[in-house]
């Protein structure tokens, strides 16, 4: 780094903004924020909206009761016609359905992840308004590479983790994540004549199992 350029740029900025707010924190706190923060929907409608939005993005969604979650995962895996799956280190053991080849990611190489036909992960949160799945890449959500290279991604979303609006997600973050991935449908492009094509580089198939863990 050239310390001279750094200082020169900062000096120019300071000169240009001289007379700005002396109290940055106070000025920030006073910023206008009159947009909608909390949603209005009840639990059922919120989940229904989340599912509707996911389906608009061509994601496959199934709902399940808490006691049949493992079974629902098993069914999805079987229906996929795939055999080799990768799973994050912290994925609950009961989600690793029998009859499939599992590679647990204790630091798999790129080539090993690339060979998997699919991946199963947990998620941090769902945002109904935009149909967004949020990953903070904790132990059960996995490293970024495993939810990226395999062509088929099954993600578990608990109903209690679904918020209605984007600001509600931020309110749930007690601290900022170090890593985060926001997925709103499978990889897509509209670069050729604005025709939406699903599946460019990320997983082409996104499956979401919604666990209804809150009372209906």
Partner 1 sequence: MSHPANEGHPVLDPVLAAPFPQAAFTVLRNTQLRKNVAHATDVIQGKRNRLVAEKTDWQELRSAASALRTHVLENLGHYLEQFEERCTAAGGVVHWAKDAAEARAIFLDILRQEQASDVIKIKTMTSAEIQLNPAIEAAGIKAFETDLAEIILQLGDDEPSHIVVPALHVNRTQVREIFARKMNLPELSDDPKELTNAARTFLREKFLRVPTAISGANFLIAETGSVVIVESEGNGRMCLTLPKTMITLAGIEKVIPRFQDLEVMLQVLARSATGERMNPYSSLWTGVTPGDGPQRFHVVLLDNGRSDILARRGERQTLKCIRCGACQNTCPVYRQTGGHAYGSPYAGPIGAILTPQLMHLEHAQTLPYASSLCGACYEVCPVKINIPEVLIDLRAQVTDKEREEERRFFDPMYLGMRIANFIFASAGRFRLAQWMGRLGLRLFTRKDGWIHSLPSLGARWTMTRDLRGLPDETFRRWWAARDRKD
- Which residues inside 8-37 make contact with partner 1, applying CB under 8 A? 8-10, 12-17, 20-21, 24, 27-28, 31-36
Of 28 and 81, nearer to partner 1 (C-beta) is: 28
Phi, psi for residue 8 in degrees, rounded to 5? -65, -45
**What's the closest the beta carbon of residue 166 comes to partner 1, in angstroms?**
5
**What's the closest the beta carbon of residue 99 comes to partner 1, in angstroms?**
29
Alpha carbons within 13 angstroms on the beta-carbon side of residue 213 total: 12
Assign 3-class secondary structure to 107-134.
CCCHHHHHHCCEEEEECCEEEHHHCEEE
CA distances to 82, 92, 115, 126 from 132, rounded to whole Å, are 25, 23, 27, 6
Residue written as token pair 């149909």: 131
**What's the closest the beta carbon of residue 103 comes to partner 1, in angstroms?**
16
Q: Is 158:92 a contact under the CB 8 Å cutoff?
A: no
CA dist 105 and 139 (Å) reads 10
Of 93 and 190, nearer to partner 1 (C-beta) is: 190
Which residues 44-73 are close enough to bind partner 1 by CB under 8 A?
A: 53, 57
Counting residues that bind partner 1 (by CB under 8 A) gives: 71
How far from the centroid of its chain's Cα atoms is residue 80's Cα? Answer: 21
CA dist 186 and 138 (Å) reads 21
**What's the closest the beta carbon of residue 1 comes to partner 1, in angstroms?**
5
Of 98 and 111, nearer to partner 1 (C-beta) is: 111
Which residues 76-135 are close enough to bind partner 1 by CB under 8 A?
A: 107, 110-111, 114, 127, 129-132
Q: Considering only residues 99, 201, 215, 216, which one is a binding residue for partner 1 as defined by CB under 8 A?
A: 201
Q: State both tokens at 181.
A: 């991935």
Of 43 and 199, nearer to partner 1 (C-beta) is: 199
Indicate the burial class of 153 (C-beta count within 10 angstroms; 0-12, 13-18, 19 or more). buried
**What's the closest the beta carbon of residue 41 comes to partner 1, in angstroms?**
14
Which residues 141-200 are close enough to bind partner 1 by CB under 8 A?
A: 143-145, 148, 166-167, 169-170, 173, 176-195, 197, 199-200
**What's the closest the beta carbon of residue 168 comes to partner 1, in angstroms?**
9
């Amino acid at each position: 780094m050239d310390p001279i350029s750094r200082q020169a740029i900062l000096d120019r900025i300071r000169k240009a903004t001289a007379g700005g707010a002396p109290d940055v924190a106070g000025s920030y706190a006073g910023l206008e924020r009159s947009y909608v923060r909390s949603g209005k929907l009840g639990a059922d409608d919120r989940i229904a909206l989340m599912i509707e939005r996911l389906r608009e993005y061509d994601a496959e969604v199934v709902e399940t009761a808490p006691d049949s979650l493992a079974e629902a995962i098993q069914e999805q895996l079987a229906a996929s016609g795939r055999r080799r799956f990768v799973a994050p280190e912290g994925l609950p053991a009961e989600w690793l359905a029998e009859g499939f080849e599992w590679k647990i990611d204790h630091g798999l190489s790129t080539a090993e992840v690339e060979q998997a036909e699919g991946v199963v992960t947990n998620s941090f949160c769902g945002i109904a308004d935009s149909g967004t799945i949020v990953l903070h890449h904790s132990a059960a959500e996995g490293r970024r590479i495993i939810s990226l290279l395999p062509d088929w991604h099954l993600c578990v979303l608990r109903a209690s983790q679904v918020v209605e609006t984007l600001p509600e997600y931020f309110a749930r973050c007690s601290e900022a994540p170090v890593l985060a991935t926001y997925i709103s449908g499978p990889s897509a492009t509209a670069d050729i004549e604005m025709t939406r094509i699903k599946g460019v580089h990320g997983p082409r198939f996104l499956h979401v199992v919604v666990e209804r863990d809150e009372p209906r």
